[in-house]
Structure 1
Amino acid sequence: MADSHGLAPWLGRCRLIAILRGVRPDEVVGITLALQAAGLAIVEVPLNSPDPLASIGALTEAFGDRLLIGAGTVMSPADVAAVAKAGGRLIVTPHADAAVVRAAKQHGLLAVPGFFTPAEAFAMLDAGADALKLFPAEGANPAMLRAMRAVLPAGTQVLPVGGIEAGNMQPWLAAGAAGFGVGSSIYKPGDSAEVVAGKAALLVQRIITSS
């Protein structure tokens, strides 16, 4: 079951979610060990990766409750059920889909759906979302986030995702971002655990100095 206090304890450990798009089951544990050593606590395996449920199962077995392991690019309630069966505890979507959010909550999982408009944000919160993913962040800006947070319920955690790297986190944090999902700036297919360790260390240091 997911943590009863939502995403906050995990983001309290590190405000970055590692998105391992394209990772293979045979390498995912080694890469995640590097992420854990850098301080990250949340790892997302997108479902359009090779054999993603095997990767999620391997991570769940290797890390247990020490890390929050979940799936990204979750498109349907059936996907949610498959992730839950594999041991995942976090559901992240690229889109605003209330049915997926409700399915996640029915399985006792944390739900972080994508949104881009105020209407989508409120609809996802009404469906039970634990936090919101502002996606694609490349198409938005910190001023948009600041304006959005003025009308969202107090304490709503918004995570920009898309195009986030070490050089552009500070303005988002100043606008109230609770954290970030980071993809290619922390992992690209073919990256070794050592390469990922270096990328992760840079991002963690930058988010600490920018906070």
Structure 2
Amino acid sequence: MNLVESLRAHRLLAIVRGKDPAAALRTVTTLAEVGIAAVEVSLTTTDALTVIERARAELGPDALIGAGTVRTPADAARAVDAGASCLVTPAVVDGLAGIGVPVLMGALTPTEIERALALGGAAIKLFPASLGGPDYLSALRSPFPDVPFVPVGGVDAPAARDYLSRGATAVGVGSPLIGDAADGGDLGRLRERAARFRAALAQDTA
């Protein structure tokens, strides 16, 4: 898959993590039902690999289902075997080149960004984005105009719109969107939050 083009098309990567595997799977499928089809299942989720495997079976081979919080090559190999179509790391991680799927590599500083790109990162997960906010993304885009950035960390709906307006390829959103759904929370409220995010992203393109 072309990760950058997929992220640019989806514009929002939902980050699912929770303690209830069945609820996490329901969260992934509910998001797909309401039009948020790019999802990262964090490996900190209970039985995350099974959630990824079952989500792949339910949503099909073309769905963007990533594995998040990938910290080692062993994590990466297990996630790919489970059906992850991309990997998302919280930091710069060595040893993922040639793993067979694209990597959204975590980085924050210019030095980390350069290293992540040298290690084969297809795009940069700017994390934690909340430390610098949208202004920091704007500052980074001057020396890195062609780097695909995906801010993650503390991104609510207004911030998502702001990051995208400043050139982010997409935004990654966890608890402001997911809430407690992956722990068995109300899926109706998840749908409401998803609608707010989709409306915010629609405003950005207006």
Q: Under a length normalisation based on structure 1, what TM-score does the superposition of the two structures give?
A: 0.89
How far does the alpha carbon of each residue in 1:42-95 deviate from its partner, in whole angstroms, 9 at most, with x for none?
111111111111101111111122421111111100000000111111111111
CA deviation string 1:20-63 (max 9, x = no partner) = 11153322333222211222121111111111111011111111
Deviation (angstroms), 1:190: 3.0
Instruction: List structure 1 segments (4+ residues) > 3 angstroms apart after TM superposition.
Output: none
2:23 maps to a residue whose letter is E
Aligned length: 202
Query: Within the alignment, does 1:127 sit opposite 2:104 as a pair?
Result: no
Report whether the alignment pairs 1:209 with 2:203. Answer: yes
Q: Aligned residue for 1:38?
A: 34
Report the Cα distance in structure 1 between the residues aligned to 2:43 and 2:6, rounded to whole angstroms: 25
Secondary structure of the equivalent of 1:199?
Answer: helix
Rounded Cα–Cα distance in structure 2 between residues aligned with 1:54 and 1:24: 12
Distance in 2 separating the partners of 1:49 and 1:24: 8
Other-structure match for 1:109: 101
- Tell which deviates more after alignment, 18-27 or 80-89: 18-27
Q: Does 1:179 align with 2:173?
A: no
Q: 8 Å contact 1:24–1:52 — kept in the other structure?
A: no
Of all paired residues, the percent bearing the same amino acid is 33
Q: Does 1:11 align with 2:8?
A: yes
RMSD across aligned C-alpha pairs, in angstroms?
1.6
Partner of 1:170: 161
C-alpha contact 2:11 2:170 (8 A) present in aligned 1: yes
Where structure 2 has 5 or more consecutive residues not aligned to the other structure, the ranges are none
Counterpart amino acid of 1:32?
V
Mapped pair 1:193 → 2:168:
no
